[in-house]
Amino acid sequence: MKRAIVTGGQSGLGAACATRLRADGVDVVTLDVSPDADYVVNVTDNTAVEAAIDKIGTVDILINSAGIVGPNMPLWEVPLADWMKTFDVNVHGLFTVTKAVVPSMIERGWGRIVNIASMAGKDGNPNLSAYSATKAAVIGLTKSLGKELAKTGVIANAIAPAVIATPFNATTSPDVLAHITSLIPMGRVGQPEEVAALVSWLSSDECSFSTGAVYDISGGRATY
């Protein structure tokens, strides 16, 4: 049985991915700040991340889903502390967890990494400059990592969802949420289960000739 770590696995997209992977027969371990997580870990804490992974043991699949929206305001009004916190969770946390699991994946010659990016990282969302910048960073990191791992048997891809019906959007201001929803040609928000289905494939043996890619799941908002 393969084992997966899902960061942010207690809510939203992370929880949906954890549920789907369990249904696929994967042993799922969640890392989250929620007290209900298998390991209560803040991904920005390098020491805590490494300690948790040492206890978990073999990791075949990593779903980097932990993230925050960050400040909802024009860039010139964003406090530096809020800017830094958004990067700490969305980028540095992802880096920390990924770095901790990749060497053993390479050693075994098999691994799947799926990074949750966002349409904001492709298009930029107004009044979400910090969030958009972090998701662009996730996309760039994934493209580099995919090339670095291309001959190892370890595959790294990203997905770029548009607005998905999760509690994550509860902290997004209504006008911003309305704007980004209006950009979706299908005229609706996505469902967590739809995202989890894509993540399921990207985590499987069937995904064997794609790495460093960014998969659109946006109801047609962006197809590049």
Domain ranges for the chain: 3-216
Q: Is 215 a catalytic residue?
A: no
Q: Give residue 1's Cα distance to chain centre.
A: 23
Q: pTM to 2 decimals?
A: 0.94
Contact 29, 38 (CB under 8 A): yes
Q: What is the dihedral of CA 161, 201, 196, 150, to 10 degrees?
A: -50
Tens-place pLDDT, residues 122-181: 999 999 999 999 999 999 999 999 999 999 999 999 999 998 888 777 666 788 778 878
**Topology annotation, domain 3-216:** Rossmann fold (3.40.50)
Phi first, then psi: give them for residue 180, nearest 5 degrees. Answer: -75, -25
